[in-house]
A and B are shown apart, each in its own frame.
Chain A
Amino acid sequence: MSTDRKLAELLDAATNDVPAAYLAPPLAAIHGRVRRRRRMIGAVTAAAVVVVLAGGYSVGQRLLAEPMPQMPIGPVGSPAVSPAGSPSAAASTGSSVPALSWVSAMVARDDTTITVYTGVKRCKELDRPRARVTAQDAAQVTIEVTGRVVPAEDCTTSGMDVPLVVKLAEPLGERKLIEAVSLRSHPTYFARYLPDLESTGRWSPFSGNWQYDDTTWYGGFNGPNGSELNEEAQPSESVRRGAPVATVKFGQYEGVITGSDTTMWTVWWQAGETTYSLQLVPGEGKSFTLTEFKQELALLPT
Chain B
Amino acid sequence: MEDFDAYVAVAWPRLLRSAWVLTGDWHRAEDLVQTVLARAYGRWPRLRDGAPDAYLRTMLATTYLTWWRRRARNEIPTDPLPDRPEGLGRDATGQVEMQEAMRRALALLPRQQRAVLMLRFHADLTEADTARALSIGVGTVKSYTARALATLRDNPSLRGLLTEEAQR
Contact = CB atoms under 8 A, between A and B. Distances in A.
B62 A155 contact: yes
A4 B62 contact: no
Nearest to B20: A15
A27 interface: yes
Interface stretch (A135-143, A212-220, A290-298): A212-220
5 contacts: A6-B166, A11-B122, A18-B26, A31-B41, A37-B38
Contacts, number: 128
B158 interface: yes
Interface stretch (A77-85, A109-117, A258-266): A258-266
A13 B39 contact: no
Interface string B14-38: 0011101100001101100011011
A25 B102 CA distance: 25
A7 B122 CA distance: 9
Which of B12, B21, B48 has most chain A Cβ within 10 Å? B12
B41 A34 contact: yes
A14 B46 contact: no
Given A6-B165, A37-B39, A11 B21 contact: yes
B20 A30 contact: no
A263 B98 contact: no
A156 B2 contact: no
How large, as a class, is the contact surface on chain B?
35 or more
B74 interface: no
A120 to B, nearest CB: 13
Interface of A: 1-4, 6-8, 10-19, 21-27, 29-31, 33-34, 36-38, 154-156, 159-160, 210, 212-213, 215-216, 238, 240-242, 258-259, 263, 266
B47 to A, nearest CB: 9
Contact of B43 (A26, A31, A212): A212
B4 to A, nearest CB: 9
Contacts of B62: 155-156
A10 B161 contact: yes
Nearest to A25: B12
Contacts of A17: 95-96, 99
Contact of B121 (A11, A22, A258): A11
A25 B9 contact: yes
Chain A CB within 10 Å, residue with most, of B59, B63, B102: B102
Contacts of A2: 166
A242 B44 CA distance: 16
A259 B163 CA distance: 51
5 residue pairs, one from A and one from B, having the closest CB atoms: A33-B38, A25-B12, A15-B17, A14-B102, A8-B121
A169 to B, nearest CB: 34
Contacts of B6: 242
Contacts of A16: 17, 95, 99
Contacts of B103: 14
Contacts of B41: 30-31, 34
B121 A26 contact: no
Contacts of B149: 3, 7
B54 to A, nearest CB: 15
A13 B166 contact: no
